Amino acid sequence: DAGITQSPRHKVTETGTPVTLRCHQTENHRYMYWYRQDPGHGLRLIHYSYGVKDTDKGEVSDGYSVSRSKTEDFLLTLESATSSQTSVYFCAINSSPPGTQYFGPGTRLTVL
């Protein structure tokens, strides 16, 4: 196992509330990623990080922000949750060969 944990594993919240999801890795990997998985869309990249304090947007970044103050932790924040952000969120780190990623167990988020 790559040593990736996500917390919480499940969360139900209400529209308009802020939500923070945490990804923790023990592998000291430089690159970390946040994806969301939705039926009919597969896995879509939200944000990624290439080092402490170094982050960039993915294809579905609107409504999300991230922070990485330590190598091992990558936080995903929904500033004001909306029902369209109901999804399963996965964190991942790089591996080899190129393109290979290890994924965390996921966080199921429901926004009512």
Partner 1 sequence: DQQVKQNSPSLSVQEGRISILNCDYTNSMFDYFLWYKKYPAEGPTFLISISSIKDKNEDGRFTVFLNKSAKHLSLHIVPSQPGDSAVYFCAASANSGGYQKVTFGTGTKLQVIP
| Residues at the contact surface with partner 1, assessed by CB under 8 A | 4, 31, 35, 40-45, 48, 50, 90, 92, 94-95, 97-106
- If the CB atoms of residues 14 and 38 are measured against partner 1, the closer one turns out to be 38
Question: What are 51's two structure tokens?
Answer: 């080092």
- If the CB atoms of residues 62 and 98 are measured against partner 1, the closer one turns out to be 98
* Closest separation in Å from C-beta 50 to partner 1: 6
The 3-state DSSP class for residue 84 equals helix
* Closest separation in Å from C-beta 33 to partner 1: 8
Q: Which residue, 5, 48, 51, 2, is CA-closest to 27?
A: 2
Across the beta sheet with 73-78, the strand order is 4-7, 19-25, 73-78, 64-70
* Closest separation in Å from C-beta 57 to partner 1: 12
- If the CB atoms of residues 19 and 104 are measured against partner 1, the closer one turns out to be 104
Distance CA 38, CA 95 (A): 24
